[in-house]
Structure 1
Amino acid sequence: MRQKSGDIALVEGNNELNVQMTPLPVGSFTYSNVSARMVSFNPAPAFYTMTFSCRVTNLTDATIARTLRLMYGSDGGSFYNYRGISLSLTLAPGQSYNFYFDGNGIMPGSDPYDPTYNGPLISRRTTHCMYLEDEYGNKSAEGCVTRG
């Protein structure tokens, strides 16, 4: 497009208005097949924990790199990054990744009976939810379990 006299040109970086322009991210991942299940807690079968899974897909025409965090909340409380679990993920166009969190998994280097056991314990009459979120705030649907 040709510029006319008096037009203002906006380009990445500095411009005539002295406004710093920041490039926007090139799209985001899409999330599908979100699932959460309540399962017996292996060390103490009278208790329950949960699993969460989600398919992450790059439907754009460019390779995308994002950092995904596993978010957790219960009974309508605030969500937070569960146990600091995050994943740096780079997907080419059309590529997918199946994320799976197992509440019965053991955090690296820990004893299964100490507090570093992976999953949240699910008490009676409570609802627990998880979702994935990237550094730009794009997130999957919530996967929730309720114990009556």
Structure 2
Amino acid sequence: ELSIMLEPMSLGSFGFAAIGRTDGLLRAPFESQGEQDAVMSGREMLDDMKVMMFGKIEDHLKFVQTRKICLIYFVSGSGGNVFLHRRDASDVTIPCVEGRILVFRHDLLSYTYDPAEESYALQSWILADGQATVMQEYTGPPDKFDQA
């Protein structure tokens, strides 16, 4: 497994200590518009209870802060592209080719995945130890919000 091979060298080669990886995320096309509508209508909506009691926002922020390396394995179907977005440079276009693995630093690059219609990809992230995030309400003047 690639993530197991990369983790021991993460501190020396990448500058962070890996603590593991996420479970795999299968990217698959919807079989029909009806399936897409059913999935989208059944998605979880955030309400105050989920935000305050269950820490949904904190969980997502922790993921964003700890994800370091993104791995995408193109399982089936070639075609489409992954666009890697660099902060101060033009995008890099990577073609999706069946059987290949794309590995990139997700903390340094953002991306857009634009697959072919009949393609499947397995995605996971190698994580680093993160710092705790605590959300607090800001009650100061609106013009000082960005300084809080």
Task: Give your verdict on TM over 0.5.
Answer: no
- Structure with the greater relative contact order (CA < 8 A, sep ≥ 6): 1 or 2? 2
**TM-score, length basis structure 1:** 0.28
**TM-score, length basis structure 2:** 0.28
Say which one has the larger Rg. 1
